[in-house]
Amino acid sequence: MTGSVVRTSAAALLSLDDHVCTDPAVVGNKAATLAHLRQAGFAVPAGVVVPAAALEGVTEGLPSAVTRALLNLSSLIGRGPWAVRSSSTAEDSEHASYAGQFETALDVEDERLAEAVFECWRSGQADRVRAYGGERGAGSMAVLLQPMVAADVAGVAFTIDPVSGEHVTVIEAVQGLGERLVSGSATPERWISRDGGTIATSSAAIVLTADQAGSIGDLARRVEEHLGRPQDIEWAIADGSLWLIQARPITTEPRSGPELIPVPIEVPPGYWQRDDFHEPLPITPFGRTLLTEQILKVFPAVFAEFGILLERAEVAFVGGWVYNRTVPVGAPAPERGASAPPPRWLLWLLMRTHPAVRRRCRAAGRALALDLPAAVIRRWFDEWRPEHQSDVAKALGVDLRSLSDADLAAELDHRVEVIGHPAHIVVAIGYWIQVYELTELCRDLLGWDIPKTLSLLDGLSTASTRPGNQLADLARIARSSPAVLRLLADVDESTPGRLADADPEFARAFSEYVEANGHRSLRYDIIDPTLAEMPYLLLRLVAQQLELDVSPARAARESLHRRDRAADEALELLSSHSRDDKERFERALTRARRAFPALEDRVWWTTSVQAALLRYVALEIGRRLADRHQIDAVDDVFFLEADVSRSALLDGARCTEIVRIAKGQRDWAIRNPGPPAYGDPPRGAPPFDLLPRDARLVNQGVLWGITQVFGSPRGVRDERVVSGTPASGGRYTGPVRVITGDGDFDKIRTGDVVVCPTTSPAWSVVFPSMGALVADAGGMLSHPAIIAREYGIPAVVGAGNATALLHDGQTVTVDGTTGVVELG
C-alpha cells in the first residue's frame, strides 16, 4: 500500500485521488471525507468508490459494468484482501453517524468482492436503517473499497471526551484489527492526550507506547483542525506506519453515550484475588446468582463434611470486579499488611489443640473411612445427574409465556434452588482427591510428572468431546446432500430457517443437535445469548467440519491406545516392585478413571445448562417488565438482582433507576479494570505435613485440585515469547484468532490458534476447528486443558494476558509441552 496517486477506472469506479470523489452527493460522506483528507496529505489508504449513481435501480446483483470494473481492482489500488464499507450521503454527517447500521465486509478475497459490494449496498435498504433514519432516510448509497490494513494495533480517537465533553483526545487501542473494539469484543487500552503533549494511561501500557499514543493524538487534532469540528477517527498501525482509516464528526452531546458511574474502590482487609477464571468481565447483578447460590452458600457445609481446613469462601466486588478469597478454619480476622507466620512448633500445637481444627481432622477421617470421595462420584452418575437431566428436560418443555406472574416467579425460585444443589462442589472435591492420589502414587513409584500421569486418563472426559463428535456426524449427513452444501457455503442468520425446505432429514438432525447441545451458557454470566439462540453459529461450525477429516471413532481408538500404552509402561516399571505397590497402583488407577469423566460432566449439567435455563426465565421476566414500562428494554433485566426482578414482577415497581446505575457502574468497571490482587499474599505453603494422615490427604488433594484447575497466571512478555502452563503436548504454528466470547465463534477458521480468556465445556463445539489453544487462565485440570487434551491439540493455559499481547492474524508457534508461545 502506498500514498501514490491512483488511476481512476472510467467504467464504474472513482479513485479517492479524483477531485470528484470529494463530493458527498456522488460518493457519500465517508468516502468524500477520506478523499478530502488523502488529497490534503493525510495517510489515508488508497481506495476506490462505486458511486451511488452506478448502483441506482439495482435489485438482483451488481450491474455488469461494476462487476467488470472490480475485476481490475488490483491494478488500481494494489492487491487484496479488501475492506468493503458503506458510504451513504446520510452517515457520518453532523446529524447522525449511522454507526453499525450498514454492512462492512473485511478480509474479502477477489472471488467474493462483487458479492460483498452488493451486500454492503443492499444493507441501506434494511428495516433497521429506515427506522434509524426516520424522515431523513438512509440517503443514497455508494460503496468504498480499500486494501486491508494488516494492523498490528488499531483503535479510535475522540478529540473531545464523548462522556464528559472535556476537550482532550481520548484514545482507545486494541491489538490487531479495530473491528474487535468497534464490535465490543475486546476491552481497549485507554489513553488521554491533552494539549501540550501530555500523555497518560490508567493501566499498564501493553498495546501502545507513549510515543505511539502521542502520534495518534496529534493525528486526531490535525484532522479536527482541518475539518473544523470535533472528530471521531479510526486509525491503525501496520509495520510502524500510522494510517487514518475513517473520520466523522462527533454528532452526540456529551454523555449521550454509555453513562459511566464510578464504583467506589473499597478493599476489605486481607488478600483478595480477581476471579478472571470464571468471568473475564464484570458480572451482571442477575448473573451473580450462580456465584452466591452455588459457591458462597454451599462451600461451608461441604468443607465441613470432607474435613477441609477452610471455613468458607468470600467474594468482594471491588470497583465492580469480582475478587475472592478463602478463609481458613480458626483464622483470626484479617488485618491490613502481612504478618509473619507462626513458628512450626506453634502450628503443630494449634493443629492438635484448636477445637475447630480437631473437628475437621476427625471429619476427614470419617470421610475417608466411608470413602466419601468415591461415593459422591457414584452418586453423581447414579442419582444426581439423572435428576438434573430430568429437570432440564421438564424445564425446556415449559412454555414460559403461558405462565402467570406467580408461576413464573415460582419457576425462578426453582431454578435458583437447583443451582444451589451441592453436586457442583462435592463432585469436584471427590474428583480432586482421587486424581491426586493417582498422581502422588505415580510420582513416588514411577517418577512421573502430572502430564505423564494424566495420559493414563486420556479420552475419558466424554462430556468434552461429545458435542464435537456430533458435529462430525452432522457434517457427514451434509456431505451427501447437495442442497445442504449450497446453503452451508454462505451461512447467515436466515439459513437455519431454510434447512427444512432444502433437506428435511438434515434439518431434523440439526434441530436435535441444537436441543442437545445449544441450551448452554458459554460464560458464567447469563447476559450473553446461548448457542440455541444463535443456531446459525452452530451451522457455521458444521460448515467448517466439511474442511476437516474428523473421525470420532478413530479419535476414541487413539485415546484408548494412549491410555493402554501408558498403563503398560507403568506396569512394566512396577514389575520389580512389591505386590502391595502394584495393588495400590491398580486401585488408584481404577478410582481415578471412574472419577475423571465426572468433572466436566457435572459442570455441563450443574452450571452451563443451569445458567441457560436461568437466562430464559430472566428474559421472560424482562419481557413482561419492559411491556409494563418497569424497565426500558428486555435485556435490562440482567441489571437487576434476581430477587429484585422477582419482586418487580409481582408488585409492579419501576426499576429504571436501578438499571441505570447498574449499567453505568458496569460500563465504568469495564473501562477501569482493577489489579490482579489486593493485599499481601500469604507467606509460605500451608503446613499440611503437620496434620494427621487422613486430614493431610484430604487437604493436600483439594489444594492440589484447586491449583490444577485455576492455575497461577505467569504470562511473560518479551519481544518474541508468551509463556504459561503446558496443558496439552505438541507443537503447532498458525495464525492467531482472539476469541473473547461466543460472539466471536464465527471468526474461527480451520487451523487457527485460538487465544481466549478461558473456556467452558460448552466451547467444545469449536475445538475441532482449532490448530492450538492459548488461554489466559487455568491449570492442568481446567476446562481448556482437559478439552484440548481430549482433542489432541497443543495448548498453553495460565498465560496471563495473552489476549492483550497477541492479535488476530499474527503467526505464532504454540508448544504445549514446554508452555511457550513463540511470536513470529
143 and 44 belong to one structural domain? yes
Query: What is the structure's pLDDT at 715?
Result: 43
| pLDDT category of residue 220 using cuts at 50, 70 and 90 | very high
668 and 260 in contact (C-beta within 8 Å)? yes
Query: Does residue 165 share a domain with residue 135?
Result: no
On whether both 129 and 41 belong to a single domain, the answer is yes
Q: For residue 787, give its domain range.
A: 709-823
Is residue 36 located within the same domain as residue 159?
A: no
The confidence score (pLDDT) of residue 127 equals: 52
List all residues 6 or more positions away from 36 whose beta carbon is below 8 Å from its beta carbon. Answer: 22, 227
* Together in a domain, 141 and 28: yes
Higher pLDDT, 425 or 80: 425
Q: In sequence order, which residues have a C-beta less than 8 Å from that of residue 593 and are 6 or more positions away?
A: 456, 457, 460
Is residue 164 one of the residues assigned to a domain?
yes
Indicate whether 257 belongs to any domain: no
| Tally of domains within the chain | 3
> Model confidence over 593-603: pLDDT tens digits?
999 999 989 99
DSSP summary character for residue 458: T
**Are residue 727 and residue 808 in the same domain, yes or no?**
yes
Q: What mean pLDDT value characterizes the chain?
A: 85
Distance CA 385, CA 609 (A): 12
Do residues 724 and 791 share a domain?
Answer: yes
Q: What percent of the chain has pLDDT over 70?
A: 87
Closest CA to 601 of 431, 789, 770: 431
Residue 811 within any structural domain of the chain: yes
The per-residue pLDDT for range 710-735, each reduced to its tens digit, is 776 454 444 457 888 898 889 999 99
Q: Is residue 254 part of a domain?
A: no
Region 138-161: mean pLDDT is 87
Res 581: pLDDT: 95
Chain mean position to CA 370: 41
Report how far residue 370's alpha carbon sits from residue 457's, in angstroms, rounded to the nearest whole number.
Answer: 25
Considering the domain architecture, whether residues 74 and 102 belong to the same structural domain is answered as yes
Both 723 and 817 in a single domain?
yes
- The pTM of this model reads 0.69
DSSP helix/strand/coil, 521: coil
Tell me the CATH number at 783.
3.50.30.10
Task: Report angle CA 307, 308, 311 to the nearest 5 degrees.
Answer: 110
* pLDDT reading at 545 higher than 50: yes
Report yes or no on 244 lying in a domain.
Answer: yes
| One domain, residues 55 and 174 | no
Query: Residues 288-291: contacts with CB within 8 Å, 24+ apart?
Result: 288/641, 289/416, 289/419, 289/526, 289/614, 289/642, 290/419, 290/524, 290/526, 290/607, 290/610, 290/611, 290/614, 291/315, 291/322, 291/524
pLDDT recorded at residue 223: 95
Query: What's the pLDDT score for residue 575?
Result: 94
Does residue 178 share a domain with residue 141? no
DSSP strand pairing (231-238 vs 310-318): unpaired
Residue 3: is its pLDDT beyond 60?
Answer: no
From 106, 122, 147, the end of a domain falls on 147
CATH of the domain at 217: 3.30.470.20
Q: How confident is the model at residue 98 (pLDDT cuts 50, 70, 90)?
A: very low
Look at residue 106 and tell me if it is in a domain: yes
Q: pLDDT-derived band of residue 64, with 50, 70 and 90 as boundaries?
A: confident
User: Of 97, 112, 147, which marks where a domain is finished?
Assistant: 147
768 in any annotated domain: yes
Provide the CATH number for the domain around residue 130. 3.30.1490.20
Judgement on whether residues 141 and 54 belong to the same structural domain of the protein: yes
Contacts of 11 (CB under 8 A, 6+ apart): 65, 66, 68, 69
Helix axis angle for 24-39 and 210-227, nearest 10°, is: 130
Domain finish residue from 147, 167, 187: 147
Is residue 642 domain-resident? no
φ/ψ (deg, to 5) at 574: -85, 0
* Average pLDDT of span 352-357: 82
Highest mean pLDDT among 65-79, 174-188, 493-507: 493-507
As a dihedral over the C-alpha atoms of residue 617, residue 316, residue 301, residue 340, rounded to 10 degrees, the angle is 160
